[in-house]
Amino acid sequence: MHPDTQNLIPPMKSPGNREDVVEYFRQVLQQLPDLGLEVERWAPTENAVMVE
């Protein structure tokens, strides 16, 4: 991720920076070590990228 990125990942209440997002997933993966993530699709917008 770009150092200036802002990401809103449910259930986050406000966008987080790169470190916030890494820490969020670190905590999730500690609780669910077998969880995997796979990008289904993505699309650019005027000032963002939507990832599903």
DSSP 14-47: S-B-HHHHHHHHHHHHHH-TT-------EEE-SS
The confidence score (pLDDT) of residue 44 equals: 93
**Which residues touch 17 (CB under 8 Å, ≥6 apart)?**
4, 5, 6, 7
Q: What is the pLDDT of residues 1-52, one digit of tens each?
A: 788 888 888 888 888 898 988 898 899 999 999 998 899 999 999 888 888 8
Contact 43, 49 (CB under 8 A): yes
- The two tokens of residue 44 are 């650019």
The residue extents of the domains of the chain are 1-52
The secondary structure element, H or E, covering residue 50 is strand 49-51
